Amino acid sequence: MKLVTAIIKPFKLDDVRQALHEVGIAGITVTEVKGFGRQKGHTELYRGAEYNVDFLPKLKIETAVTSEMAEQVVEAIQRGAATGKIGDGKIFVSALEEVIRIRTGETGAQAI
Amino acid sequence: MKTLKKATFSIGGLLLALAPGMAAAQDELSAGDTAWMLTATALVLFMTIPGLSLFYAGMVRAKNALSVMMQCFAITCMVTILWVVYLYSLAFGDDISGFVGGLGKAFMAGVSTDSLTGTIPETVFSMFQLTFAIITPALIVGAFAERMKFSAMLWFMALWVTLVYAPVAHWVWGGGWLSERGVLDFAGGTVVHINAGVAGLVAALVMGKRRGYPQHPMKPSNLVLTMVGAGMLWVGWFGFNAGSELAADGVAGMAMAVTQIATAAAALTWMFLEWISHGKPSALGLASGAVAGLVAITPASGFVGPMGALAIGFASGLVCYLFVVKVKRSLGYDDSLDAFGVHGVGGFVGAILTGVFVDASFGGAGLEEGVGIGSQVASQFIGAGATIVYCGVVSFILLKLIDAVIGLRVSDEQEEMGLDLVLHDEMGYNLH
């Protein structure tokens, strides 16, 4: 099993959700986060006082998938989140040891 | 020339008309004038609460938003009481050596339902003038925002309106020496704006910068409130300028027209300058330009024509923009919300240009017989200069005195926590 974590631009959430739905993903977790990468921050100006905002708002998406699904899921997120401009984000894929459904106690792929 | 005479001494002149022996002909109440002045009085009070309060509250950090609103509100209440007790008399009582009014009208002595000032009830005149005495100290709040003790603020304002505002209002409008010298200040460019701006600058210098200024970001908490407040100031300013004619007549109409024109011109000037130099136009810039234009047209409003208003608008937008955005940063003092940069500088630009655009060749009401533009501008410099020096010196002494007795500033820790919580046990915003 794999845990797919993606950092995306907030306004692309709907596109990513739609793309994941199309490849059969049933659930994701979304968190509002801030950070910086190559995009850098932006500048705000108030009556000549210039402030640099280093951390930009992004969304973090997490979804647990079977190892076979991982590649498809990564492609779906990429398709949904890409604008071609700097700051589109990143996708991290990591090994996932165990998944447990709290209600039933099911484990492994069945719990995904 | 009759209209010019009336315009020139709009407020002072009407008072002079009350002098014994001169009064008989004019002492008749005009319902039209009274109806307008009742309205204008409400409009000018509306400028301070809530207009200026919102304008300022949006520009400070969230932890201090309530404190500036409360300062404006408390000043409104305190100045009202002082006005009734003695301030009205100091400003508009019988002249003493051209410097200040006597105490004959203390406790509103002799002001009844039958008392008239020109063609309006004296109660209305007194309340109209009160709203000017309220907004002037409230404007100063912008200079020392986010760091002054509430108690010290009250002491300073009580002493300042007594020792600075009342005499200067008397000089210009109460039949004092500046009106005798022919200084033109229709609605208070000198009395209100230069006065408040200079006091603000002195307060910012005496008190020092906010902790962390200018290294740490001090972003406005809510520019939506600031835009709302700026809009209210603009609307209320019609009462301020057109009301200063003290009558519902043609001069009042022109004062309203030039107020609108100058404000729009100054706002656009600031917006485009920022657009050119920074690449984007900003809401705060647009609002700041509007206030600069309102300030600058104030002394000129009953004297200049539409083209003079256009010129004064452009000039004040340009000069205030350069001062606030470029010059202030390099000087390094911390006038938090630019009380001096907008009101002091804009008031000065307006005061001087009034002496130019009052001339009939620029479409103004025309100069007095035998007075040229040069000598009128010289008079304007004297009016502005006298106010700057007097206000600067007295404000400095008052601030040093209060600092020695009770201290002007909150502690570093209190400043860090925010004045809303440490001085008032409240929060302006409880969002979490």
Give domain limits for chain A.
2-111
Looking at residues A90-110, what average pLDDT do you find? 96
pLDDT at A88: 94
Residue tagged 């002037």 (tokens): B136
List Cβ neighbours of B365 (8 Å cut-off, separation of 6 or more): B3, B4, B7, B8, B251, B302, B303, B304, B305, B358
pLDDT digits (tens, 9 = 90+) for B307-333: 999 999 999 999 999 999 999 989 999
pLDDT digits (tens, 9 = 90+) for A33-68: 999 988 888 889 999 898 888 899 999 999 999 999
pLDDT at B7: 39
* Closest residue in chain B to residue A47, using alpha carbons only: B325
Q: Find the chain A residues whose C-beta atoms sit closer than 8 A to any C-beta of B.
A: 44-49, 51
Q: In angstroms, what separates the C-alpha of B205 from chain A's closest C-alpha?
A: 19
pLDDT digits (tens, 9 = 90+) for B380-397: 999 999 999 999 999 999
pLDDT digits (tens, 9 = 90+) for B100-143: 999 999 999 999 999 999 999 999 999 999 999 999 999 999 99
pLDDT at B53: 98
What phi-psi label fits residue B108: left (phi over 0), alpha (psi between -120 and 50 degrees) or beta? left
pLDDT digits (tens, 9 = 90+) for B51-64: 999 999 999 999 99
pLDDT at A108: 93
Size of interface A-B (CB pairs under 8 A): 25
Which chain B residues contact residue A51 at CB under 8 A? 217, 219
- Cross-chain Cβ contact A51/B285 below 8 Å: no
pLDDT at B10: 47
Nearest to A51 among B217, B278, B325 (CB): B217
Categorize the per-residue pLDDT at B5 as very low, low, confident or very high, splitting at 50, 70 and 90.
Answer: very low
Contact B44, B126 (CB under 8 A): no
Decide if B281 touches A, using CB distance below 8 A: no
Average pLDDT, chain B: 93
Which chain B residues contact residue A55 at CB under 8 A? none
Categorize the per-residue pLDDT at B16 as very low, low, confident or very high, splitting at 50, 70 and 90.
Answer: very low
Nearest to B326 among A45, A46, A48 (CB): A48
Categorize the per-residue pLDDT at B432 as very low, low, confident or very high, splitting at 50, 70 and 90.
Answer: low
CB-neighbour burial class of residue B357 (10 A; exposed 0-12, middle 13-18, buried 19+): buried
- What is the dihedral angle through the alpha carbons of B343, B348, B351, B352, rounded to the nearest 10 degrees? -160
On the question of pLDDT at B98 being above 80, the answer is yes
Percent of chain B clearing pLDDT 70 (strictly above)? 94
The whole-angstrom separation of Cα B239 and Cα B31 is 17
pLDDT at B416: 95
Looking at residues B410-431, what average pLDDT do you find? 95
pLDDT at B329: 86
- What is the dihedral angle through the alpha carbons of B216, B218, B219, B220, rounded to the nearest 10 degrees? 180
pLDDT digits (tens, 9 = 90+) for B18-45: 444 444 445 799 999 999 999 999 999 9
Q: What is the pTM of this model?
A: 0.87
Categorize the per-residue pLDDT at B6 as very low, low, confident or very high, splitting at 50, 70 and 90.
Answer: very low
Percent of chain A clearing pLDDT 90 (strictly above)? 83
Percent of chain B clearing pLDDT 90 (strictly above)? 91
Which chain A residues contact residue B317 at CB under 8 A? none
Which chain B residues contact residue A46 at CB under 8 A? 219-220, 282, 284
Long-range contacts of B5-10 (CB under 8 A, 24+ apart): B6/B251, B7/B186, B7/B245, B7/B251, B7/B302, B7/B303, B7/B365, B8/B182, B8/B184, B8/B303, B8/B365, B8/B368, B9/B179, B10/B186, B10/B244, B10/B245, B10/B246, B10/B251, B10/B302
Query: Which domains, from first to last, does chain B contain?
Result: 12-424 (1.10.3430.10)
Decide if B334 touches A, using CB distance below 8 A: no
- Cross-chain Cβ contact B282/A48 below 8 Å: no
* Closest residue in chain B to residue A44, using alpha carbons only: B219
On the question of pLDDT at B4 being above 50, the answer is no
What is the fold of A2-111?
Alpha-Beta Plaits (3.30.70)
The whole-angstrom separation of Cα B432 and Cα B426 is 14
